[in-house]
Structure 1
Amino acid sequence: MDKFIGIFEEKLTPIAMKLDGNRYLSAIKNSFMATMPLLIIGSFFILFANLPIPAYTSFMENTLGEGWQRFFTVPNDISMSMMTIYVVIGIANDLAHTYKIDRIGAIFSALAAFLVLTPLHTFQDADLGVGIPLSNLGAAGLFVGMIASIFAVELIYFADRKGWVIKMPESVPANVSKSFSSLIPILVVIVVFNLIRIGFEFTSFDNAQSFIFENLQTPLTRLGSSLPATIIVMLVEGVLWAFGIHGSNIVGSVMQPIWLSLTAENATAVANGLDIPNIVNYQFYSNFIKVGGSGATFGLVLLLLFLSKSKQFKAVGKLSIIPEIFTINETMIFGIPIVLNPILLVPFILTPVIMTLMAYFSMSSGLVPLTNGVNIPWTTPPIISGFLVSGWKGAVLNIVQILVSAGVYYPFFKTADKLAYDTEQANEQLEQQAKNNTRFTEQGIVEKG
């Protein structure tokens, strides 16, 4: 077993480290993390506009009149509905920091590149001219925004390495000199992306966004929203954690853009009074799979707290319960430990899969409403999180999941706890024996004296 684990770790760790250290995936991950507070705040306004409480709805309608929900839609429109703008800025800023080039120039170039590729809408009223539909700045434009941002910064970096800059005399103020030094790199970006836009106008897709949406984003979101793919992702995450690699970070850098675009689709549907389209999304993952964090360990912390015989396990349970309520469970993963623990790794990898199946079939069968697109923080405690994204039935599902996770962990916990308890007893006996030997030796010395 140890030999197998060693071989597996030797092969897996370099791959995981390369993924985690990839500058593009890292930039995407960091960008979404930076954008998350804005998305959370914006999506909460959708919740305020659609609370499933008749008394609240009646009060708001009587106070603000019909169509009162519109008072809550603007914060969502400038956040969730325009999420690609913020993601583009975040990616460009992170890559510019990595390459040590001008951040403002990189951000402006990335935004320009994305907007050049974004299709415009011509209004029927000629006086209104043309505009950009919000949908093109939201989930539908997410992948073209990420690609455009990365490619634009690469062009800026290429121009910088080639020395394609206008150098002004030293007597010119620094801010003026800096703006001129960015002139040629930004020109290169706009020219290249404009040529790309023109090229797509001669195709059946008409624009780059349609091409990427139909050939890349739609297949990936369909795959990411499927049950088999979600199970595979959970297994990969669990296996990475098994070797002490932060599986959530690595999986998140790849899957978060897909899941967040699915969340945005749900939020848009709720805001427009339409049927919610997606079961699997970021809220499904955060609130109905990771019940208590990676490994769905909320049930395990209850076992540690109330049923442990081992002093070590009891101490870990007391230390972990408060963080666990907020889905932070590293104290257990590394404190028991679960990492490289052949007993507890089995339920740690298996339980998220069971949580996935429970939540998926509960929602697909109609027992529990699909998540409403409210992008609550991942640290929201279970039960509360279930209620916020799927109503009282979501809260009940969380309770059942916690009980099921405790049941899955129980036989493995009992085995690990007994081993730890027996080891502690053996150590205590050895310590007591050592103390007795010391006391007898001291008595013998006194008698001889």
Structure 2
Amino acid sequence: MENQVNGKMSSFITKKLLPAILKFVNTKAVKALQDGMVYALPFIIIGSIFLILSNVPVPAIATALKNSGWSAFFTQAYTTTFGILSIWAAVGIAYVYVRNEGLEALPAGLTSLSAFLMLQMLQVTTPLVGVMGKSGAGITNSAGTVVLSGAEVSNHIDKLPAALQSFLQSPVTGVINISWLSGQGMVAAIIVGILVGWAYSKMIKAGWKITLPEQVPANVANQFTAMIPSGVILIATMLIYAVIKMTLNTDMLNLIYNSLSAPMQGLSDSLVGAILIAFLVSFFWFFGVHGGLIMGGIAGAFLIPNTANNAALYQAGKLSLNNGAHIVTNEFYNNFINLTGSGITIGLVIFTLVAAKSVQFKTIGRIEFVPALFNINEPFLFGLPLVLNPFLAIPFFLTPVIIAISTYSVIYFGIVPPLNGVAAPWTTPAIISGFLIGGWKMAIWQAITLVISALVYFPFAKKYDQYLFEQEQEKARNEGLEI
């Protein structure tokens, strides 16, 4: 009876549920999102190096770098790489969308960038607003010492003529607000990238283009080909900006952030969100579908902004949950939920090294040992296999969920600090990646998660190993009789 129920459940998932999910995952928009975000990775990783250098966790070195001025140089390098990741997303997503349609793609990427910038008010709040008043930060010197308190700043401003006070406290206009170029503008960049890619492709295929004679060089002709679709998109973008500014006195990026980005980031940054992501990675993989790729593409749209926000807080020396730091970030996903590979299968590797009896388990374990150090576990997924393996299904599903809950909890209760926004490459070995993304406490916690994996997998692996061992013994006996 139980086997019939399991069979029906498996049939429903493989015939009904997975095809629908795969149809969604393979849509043009989702493919553009997945592949387009890849273009941001070099800047995220390189920017993380500059972030570490600008915030060296050794006080003496940090002070020396600050006094020498190099800390400011590293900060600028971080700001113009990791700090503008929404730009890379806006360009990359539109580029990939149009490239996948078989068209000249770079003009679409640049059109997306222009549209993304056009949708925001080109202004920033004057620095005076943040330093004035009793709760203001005050004015500090190069050493970080407050030389004029917030109250003192207000008193001095109050003595000026009203017109001058108004001028000094008005927003600075004619500048790009860099806040929207980081994680805060990521969802808007994704939407713009997808819509621009879609509209550009549609217009080109519909023949909305200027065709020049064959004698005109291709590089010149391509730009005229892009002129009409790019022009239509940018005119429409300008009109959208104008309507929102005149009717609501805000811009599209603010609307998207407040109505969509903030709620979705909040959901992804919850315990429920962490559990759901951890479960779905293993769920997809169990049926042979690349769970890491699917969830990385979908959840990354909200987890990468969480990482960027934490990086900004870390860079400002304000990394704490009270200051708005996120618990679930892209590094939470890469370096805990997928630690040593989807399903956190290091526990299986440990079992094969110390307790396995079957030749199959031992052989696959030796093959998997080195890849596991770099968070790759395809030898286990398909060689053991873990895919559709009822013996190991429970630990494969359960281990990431346990790690997600426990890691969320140790950060939430202040046992370890929030992740600092440093984006360690996903192939960085465990413990080393923990130190990079959260310091020595996070490295210790990451080591503990490896132990948890071993404890969860061990009894199930032992049972499966015994099953394989008995099969091998039976095969050996039969072969012996035939001889």
TM-score, normalised with respect to structure 2: 0.86
Whether 2:31 is the aligned partner of 1:26: answer: yes
Whether 2:419 is the aligned partner of 1:371: answer: yes
2:223 alignment partner, one of 160, 163, 179: 179
TM superposition shift of 1:150:
1.6
How large is the RMSD of aligned CA atoms in angstroms?
1.8
Whether 2:84 is the aligned partner of 1:40: answer: no
Whether 2:208 is the aligned partner of 1:190: answer: no
Q: Which runs of 4+ in 1 moved over 4 A?
A: 122-126
Q: Specify the alignment match of 1:104 in structure 2.
A: 106
Which secondary structure does the structure 1 equivalent of 2:396 belong to?
helix
Q: Specify the alignment match of 1:131 in structure 2.
A: 175
Whether 2:400 is the aligned partner of 1:342: answer: no
Is the CA contact (8 Å cut-off) linking 2:351 and 2:454 kept in structure 1? Answer: yes
Residue-pair matches, total = 431
TM superposition shift of 1:204:
2.9
Map 1:243-258 to 2 at 5 A. Answer: 243-258=287-302
TM superposition shift of 1:129:
5.7
TM superposition shift of 1:421:
0.4
**For 2:63 and 2:239, how far apart are their aligned partners in 1?**
54
* Residues 18-27 or 155-164, more deviating: 155-164
**For 1:183 and 1:12, how far apart are their aligned partners in 2?**
43
Whether 2:430 is the aligned partner of 1:385: answer: no
Q: Can you give the 5+ residue segments of structure 2 that lack an aligned partner in the other structure? A: 1-5, 127-166
**For 2:213 and 2:42, how far apart are their aligned partners in 1?**
43
Distance 1:176-1:285 versus aligned 2 partners, 3 A rule: closer
Q: Specify the alignment match of 1:320 in structure 2.
A: 368
Whether 2:284 is the aligned partner of 1:240: answer: yes
Map 1:262-341 to 2 at 5 A. Answer: 262-276=306-320, 277-341=325-389
Q: Can you give the 5+ residue segments of structure 1 that lack an aligned partner in the other structure? A: 436-449
Which secondary structure does the structure 2 equivalent of 1:245 belong to?
coil
Task: Give, as a single letter, the amino acid of the residue that structure 1 aligns with 2:51.
Answer: I
Is the CA contact (8 Å cut-off) linking 1:16 and 1:250 kept in structure 2? Answer: no
Distance 1:178-1:291 versus aligned 2 partners, 3 A rule: closer
**For 2:286 and 2:414, how far apart are their aligned partners in 1?**
34
**For 1:411 and 1:314, how far apart are their aligned partners in 2?**
16
Which secondary structure does the structure 1 equivalent of 2:239 belong to?
helix
Is the CA contact (8 Å cut-off) linking 1:289 and 1:359 kept in structure 2? Answer: no
TM superposition shift of 1:85:
1.0
**For 2:472 and 2:188, how far apart are their aligned partners in 1?**
58
Task: Give, as a single letter, the amino acid of the residue that structure 1 aligns with 2:405.
Answer: L
* Residues 104-113 or 3-12, more deviating: 3-12
* Residues 196-205 or 306-315, more deviating: 196-205
2:193 alignment partner, one of 137, 149, 152: 149
**For 2:456 and 2:11, how far apart are their aligned partners in 1?**
27
TM superposition shift of 1:18:
1.2
Which secondary structure does the structure 2 equivalent of 1:202 belong to?
helix
**For 1:176 and 1:378, how far apart are their aligned partners in 2?**
41
TM superposition shift of 1:205:
5.6
**For 1:58 and 1:180, how far apart are their aligned partners in 2?**
54
Is the CA contact (8 Å cut-off) linking 1:369 and 1:394 kept in structure 2? Answer: yes
TM superposition shift of 1:227:
0.6
Q: Specify the alignment match of 2:213 in structure 1.
A: 169
TM superposition shift of 1:55:
4.2
Q: Specify the alignment match of 2:92 in structure 1.
A: 90
Q: Specify the alignment match of 1:438 in structure 2.
A: none
Whether 2:230 is the aligned partner of 1:228: answer: no
Is the CA contact (8 Å cut-off) linking 2:86 and 2:182 kept in structure 1? Answer: yes
Is the CA contact (8 Å cut-off) linking 2:33 and 2:194 kept in structure 1? Answer: no
TM superposition shift of 1:398:
1.1
**For 2:348 and 2:62, how far apart are their aligned partners in 1?**
40
Is the CA contact (8 Å cut-off) linking 2:244 and 2:252 kept in structure 1? Answer: yes
Task: Give, as a single letter, the amino acid of the residue that structure 2 aligns with 1:269.
Answer: L
**For 1:130 and 1:233, how far apart are their aligned partners in 2?**
41
Q: Deviations over 1:312-362 (max 9, x none)?
A: 000111000100000000111111111111110110000001001111111
Q: Deviations over 1:144-164 (max 9, x none)?
A: 111112212222222223322
Map 1:205-220 to 2 at 5 A. Answer: 206-220=250-264
**For 2:35 and 2:179, how far apart are their aligned partners in 1?**
23
Is the CA contact (8 Å cut-off) linking 1:262 and 1:280 kept in structure 2? Answer: yes
Distance 1:129-1:223 versus aligned 2 partners, 3 A rule: closer
2:471 alignment partner, one of 423, 429, 441: 423
Which secondary structure does the structure 1 equivalent of 2:454 belong to?
helix
Task: Give, as a single letter, the amino acid of the residue that structure 2 aligns with 1:272.
Answer: A
Paired-residue identity, %? 34
